[in-house]
């Protein structure tokens, strides 16, 4: 069960809230694909994605351009 804790996923998509690394949109999208899994995976993914949205809200207008339309539909 510990492998599915939020603490395990959070660092993967929250390395730096002021910079969006080129690999991050792919990682956020991949993680979001597991949002339909049963608990505890679903709740863990939901928390991690929500934290990503919260921490990137201030700069989202610029950072969203790093995501493709498909990635935005899946992840955000």
User: Euclidean distance between the first and final Cα of the chain, in Å?
Assistant: 26
Averaged pLDDT, 54-74: 90
Residues 75, 28: contact at Cβ < 8 Å?
yes
| Span 38-48, pLDDT tens digits | 988 898 889 88
More confident residue, 1 or 24: 24
pTM confidence score: 0.73
- Looking up tokens 């994605």 gives 49
What mean pLDDT is reported for the chain?
81
**Would you mind telling me the total number of residues written for the chain in this entry?**
76
Q: How far apart are CA 18 and CA 6, in angstroms?
A: 21
Give 26's pLDDT tier (boundaries 50, 70, 90): very high
pLDDT at 73: 92
């Amino acid at each position: 069960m510990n492998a599915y804790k939020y603490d395990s996923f959070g660092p993967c998509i929250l390395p730096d809230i002021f910079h969006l690394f080129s690999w991050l949109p792919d990682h956020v999208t991949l993680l979001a694909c597991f949002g339909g899994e049963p608990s505890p995976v679903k709740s863990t993914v939901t928390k991690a994605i929500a934290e990503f949205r919260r921490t990137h809200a201030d700069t989202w207008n610029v950072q969203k351009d790093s995501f493709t339309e498909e990635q935005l539909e899946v992840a955000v």
